[in-house]
C-alpha cells in the first residue's frame, strides 16, 4: 500500500516529481528483478518448505502484481533480468549504492542476530 500510494502520487504530479520517478524507474528498473535471481540450492529449499516457491515463480508473481499499476499510471514497465544466472552478481552502480543504503542497519552490527 505504501509504494502504491507513492507511485500514484508521484506519477500523477506533472513536472519534476513524475520526471524523477520515470528517471528512477529507467535507472534502477534493469536491476529490480535481480532480487529474485535464483539461489544456490533453491530446489532443496522449496522441497523442504523453507521457500514457498522458486525465485523465478516469485519474480513472475511480483511482475504480475506491479505491471498493472505501472501501466495504469503510464510508467515504464520494468525490463526482465538480463541474465538470471548472474542476477545477484551483475548490478549497476546505482543499484549497488541503493543496496548499501538498504543494508546499512544490518552492517552496523555484524554480530547481531536479526
Cell numbers that stand for 67 in this block: 505491471
Q: For residue 51, what are the contacts with CB-CB under 8 A and spacing of at least 6?
A: 42, 45
- Percentage above 70 pLDDT, the chain: 99
Burial code of 46-81, b = ≥16 C-beta within 10 A, e = fewer?
beeeebeebbeeebeeebeebeeebeeeebeebeeb
**pLDDT (average), residues 41-48:** 95
Inform me whether the pLDDT recorded for 41 exceeds 80: yes
Element counts in the chain: helices (H) and strands (E) = 6, 0
Of 41, 25, 42, 21, nearest to 33 (Cα)? 25
Inform me whether the pLDDT recorded for 84 exceeds 80: no
Angle between helix axes 2-11 and 16-32 (nearest 10 degrees) is: 130
pLDDT at 42: 93
Q: Quote the pTM value.
A: 0.73
Amino acid at each position: 500500500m505504501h509504494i502504491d500510494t507513492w507511485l500514484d502520487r508521484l506519477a500523477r504530479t506533472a513536472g519534476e516529481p513524475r520526471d524523477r520517478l520515470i528517471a528512477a524507474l529507467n535507472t534502477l528498473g534493469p536491476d529490480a528483478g535481480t532480487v529474485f535471481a535464483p539461489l544456490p540450492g533453491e530446489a532443496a529449499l522449496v522441497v523442504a518448505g523453507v521457500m514457498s516457491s522458486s525465485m523465478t515463480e516469485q519474480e513472475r508473481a511480483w511482475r504480475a502484481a506491479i505491471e498493472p499499476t505501472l501501466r495504469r499510471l503510464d510508467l515504464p514497465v520494468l525490463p526482465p533480468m538480463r541474465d538470471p544466472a548472474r542476477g545477484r552478481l551483475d548490478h549497476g552502480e546505482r543499484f549497488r549504492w541503493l543496496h548499501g543504503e538498504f543494508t546499512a542497519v544490518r552492517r552496523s552490527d555484524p554480530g547481531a542476530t536479526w
